[in-house]
């Protein structure tokens, strides 16, 4: 019987370690609480993960292109507050496209700074995180937003409606994942995203317009954030002006868990969906075990560190640096 060498074991753990860890989590949570694998609980986890998942789909494009977007949490707060405010002023039929336009304008600004001016995406989006948060507070006057006539509007269909027994948020998530998955995997634009993230200089010499590709990735990310904001606003029919605060780390964790490399050039929409579900099930399992919600922040941090470590290890073919 053949035995695996240490290097082979390290390679397997580096490439599949997060799935192994997830399997261990699932087994542990099931043993701790029999309700964990019940159909109702599984369905609830998927539904509660849709907002995070929709945002992660867009960020996947940004990460594969070799950049980061830490502004998505604040941007989601902005889109949620704007659509709720405009709902009562101009009606949902005009409020929704107006909110999408305003949110995508913010994405275009980031895309211009990172793509065309070639500024560092970490610095730009970290700055935009604070700027958009300030914009949201200024727009709302520091107040939370609520829809006045909750019973006389069809706006709740995006967050509370269902079709064929399936909640609309899940249907939106599935449809958007399928559409963006095809865009990334089957179109020339998708190949450009991988090329720019893999080697931007080589992509430029190959005739690929790097700045335009990066700009488009941030537009896609902003569109997904606006969609998540629409679902959030429709679900609660009201919101705090900090509803998306801190979600940027969860989104990034989900994308990295799905196998997208922080170095750019790798990742898929399908694996991002898996990463979202992994994060959702881990958080749900912790709650069923009786742990407080703030423990999730610690676990999310651990998951990010673990995922980044495994990503780097997969590229060098071993878990530990040969220098160490």
d(CA 290, CA 221) in angstroms, rounded, equals 35
CB 163 within 8 A of CB 171: yes
At 200, is the secondary structure helix, strand, or coil?
A: helix
240 or 316, higher pLDDT: 240
Selection from 93, 98, 226, 217 nearest residue 172 by Cα: 226
d(CA 53, CA 276) in angstroms, rounded, equals 6
- Strand (E) or helix (H) holding 167: strand 166-167
Selection from 218, 70, 100, 86 nearest residue 139 by Cα: 86
**Across residues 53-77, what is the average pLDDT?**
96
Q: How many helices and strands, by DSSP H and E, does the chain display?
A: 14, 4
Neighbour-count burial of 308, counting CB atoms closer than 10 A to its CB (0-12 exposed, 13-18 middle, 19+ buried): middle
CB 256 within 8 A of CB 300: no
pTM, entire model: 0.88
Q: Which range has the worst mean pLDDT, 10-14, 36-40, 142-146, 271-275?
A: 10-14
Distance of CA 168 to the CA centre of its chain: 19
Q: Which domains does the chain have, with CATH numbers?
A: 17-144+154-316 (1.10.3470)
CB 85 within 8 A of CB 139: yes
Write the pLDDT tens digit of every residue in 255-293. Answer: 988 878 888 888 899 889 988 988 888 888 878 777 777
d(CA 111, CA 208) in angstroms, rounded, equals 16
pLDDT score, position 1:
47
Selection from 228, 278, 287 nearest residue 255 by Cα: 278
Alpha helices in 141-209 (DSSP H): 157-160, 168-186, 188-198, 200-205
Q: Which range has the worst mean pLDDT, 55-69, 135-149, 250-264, 295-309?
A: 295-309
């Amino acid at each position: 019987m053949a035995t695996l060498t240490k290097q082979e074991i390290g390679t397997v753990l580096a490439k599949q370690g997060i799935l192994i860890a997830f399997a261990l989590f699932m087994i542990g949570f099931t043993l701790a609480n029999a309700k964990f694998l019940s159909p109702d609980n599984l369905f609830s986890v998927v539904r509660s993960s849709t907002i995070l998942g929709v945002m992660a789909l867009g960020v996947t494009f940004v990460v594969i292109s070799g950049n980061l977007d830490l502004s998505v949490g604040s941007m989601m707060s902005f889109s949620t507050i704007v659509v709720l405010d405009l709902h009562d002023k101009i009606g949902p039929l005009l409020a929704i496209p107006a909110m999408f336009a305003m949110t995508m304008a913010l994405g275009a600004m980031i895309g211009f700074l990172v793509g065309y001016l070639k500024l560092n995406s970490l610095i730009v989006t970290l700055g935009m995180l604070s700027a958009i948060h300030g914009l949201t507070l200024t727009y709302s006057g520091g107040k939370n937003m609520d829809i006045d006539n909750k019973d006389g509007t069809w706006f709740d269909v995006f967050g509370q409606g269902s079709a064929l027994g399936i909640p609309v948020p899940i249907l939106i998530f599935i449809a958007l994942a399928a559409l963006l998955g095809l865009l990334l995997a089957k179109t020339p634009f998708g190949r450009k995203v991988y090329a720019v993230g893999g080697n931007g200089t080589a992509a430029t010499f190959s005739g690929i317009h790097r700045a335009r590709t990066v700009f488009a990735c941030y537009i896609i990310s902003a569109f997904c954030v606006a969609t998540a904001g629409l679902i959030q606003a429709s679900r609660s029919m009201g919101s705090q002006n900090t509803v998306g605060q801190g979600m940027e780390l969860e989104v990034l964790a989900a994308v990295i868990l799905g196998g997208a490399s922080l170095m750019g050039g790798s990742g898929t929409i399908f694996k991002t969906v898996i990463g979202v579900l992994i994060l959702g099930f881990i958080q749900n399992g912790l709650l069923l075990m009786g742990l407080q919600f703030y423990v999730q922040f610690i676990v999310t941090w651990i998951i990010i560190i673990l995922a980044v470590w495994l990503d780097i290890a997969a590229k060098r073919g071993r878990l530990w640096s040969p220098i160490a």
